[in-house]
Amino acid sequence: MKRIGGVVAGVVASGLLGLGLLSGSADAALSSEPAEATHLVIGLDLSKSNPLVTSDVFARQVADRLAEEIKGLPVRSKVTVRSFGVYDTGSNPLRIDQVISARARPADVAEGIQALVSNLPRLVSEGRLEAQMKTNIVPFLETMAGGLDCSKPTKIVLLTDGAEDSELGRLTRSGGKLPPAQADAFAGCGELLMLGLGRGFDSPSTTARFRTAWTEWSDEAGFDRFVGLYDW
């Protein structure tokens, strides 16, 4: 993988991931049918409110669902993985950028990222990654927007409970609202998908309120559609 962070490099060295992304032969058969490359951006919410950092069962469930997203990518697609929580890049060193190719096949990339996500609770408990006190979802998205070309197929998948808790706004069980979106910042981008929306709050009304808030935000930001899944 390119630009792999020190924390993730340690995970690879310990054998947790076993990515083997560069072990495939150039002769490995990828589909020869033309398909437009996609940029898949994956955001890992490491805030303490997110069960992704505490529940092995939920982390595996999310990892399995995410792997299916990656396995369907055509050649030349790009997979970008970042973590977020507090508004501090030093606290979020996890950075993965991988282009799908004959040597980095979709199934191999999916397997590696699936292993990483399923092991997040373990990485946090061992202190390799830090569970964080804030949830800067909107600031993370706004930061990522500057590097996206939404004139080409783009999908953002956030592994998050959707509970924005930042300097810009708070969205909690009892109330609050999201900050206004930068109008059309993601114009042309396909889908914003949140896996685990409302998870940990265990309240249908809270999940529904989060879904409404993020649907309105994503529409204003220019996404074609928003999907927020509590479970699947």
Q: List strands edge to edge, sheet with 78-84.
A: 95-99, 78-84, 39-45, 154-159, 191-195, 225-229
Poorest-confidence range of 22-36, 93-107, 123-137, 143-157?
22-36
Q: What is the pLDDT of residues 156-182, one digit of tens each?
A: 999 999 999 999 999 987 889 999 999
Grouping H, G, I as helix, E, B as strand and the rest as coil, residue 218 is: helix
State mean pLDDT over 190-218: 96
Confidence band for 34, pLDDT divided at 50, 70 and 90: low
Confidence grade of residue 132 (pLDDT, cut at 50, 70, 90): very high
For the chain, the average pLDDT equals 88
The token pair that represents 171 in the structure block: 């969205």
Are 140 and 44 in contact, with CB atoms under 8 Å apart?
no
Residue 19 pLDDT exceeds 50: no
pLDDT tier for residue 73 given thresholds of 50, 70 and 90: very high
Q: Is 79 left (phi over 0), alpha (psi -120 to 50) or beta?
A: beta
Please report the pLDDT score of residue 175 as a whole number.
82
Q: Show Cβ contacts of residue 14 under 8 Å, excluding neighbours closer than 6 positions.
A: none
Q: Is the pLDDT of residue 23 over 90?
A: no
User: What is the mean predicted confidence (pLDDT) over 214-227?
Assistant: 98
Model confidence at 16, in pLDDT bands (50, 70, 90)?
Answer: very low
33 confidence band (pLDDT: 50, 70, 90) = low
- The SS3 of residue 41 is strand
Other residues' Cβ atoms within 10 Å of the Cβ of residue 156: 24
Average pLDDT over residues 10-31: 39
> Does the pLDDT value for residue 222 go beyond 70?
yes
Cα separation, 6 vs 162, whole angstroms: 27
On the question of pLDDT at 4 being above 80, the answer is no
Sign of the dihedral through C-alpha 120, 191, 156, 199 = negative
Cβ burial 25-34 (10 Å sphere, 16+ → b, else e): eeeeeeeeee
Domains of the chain, each with CATH number or no CATH:
37-229 (3.40.50)
Burial class (CB within 10 angstroms; exposed 0-12, middle 13-18, buried 19+) of 41: buried
Q: Are 113 and 42 in contact (CB under 8 A)?
A: yes
Give the model's pLDDT for residue 95: 94
Average pLDDT over residues 218-232: 97
pLDDT band at 89 (very low <50, low <70, confident <90, very high): confident
- 214: closest CA among 175, 167, 163? 163
pLDDT at 30: 44
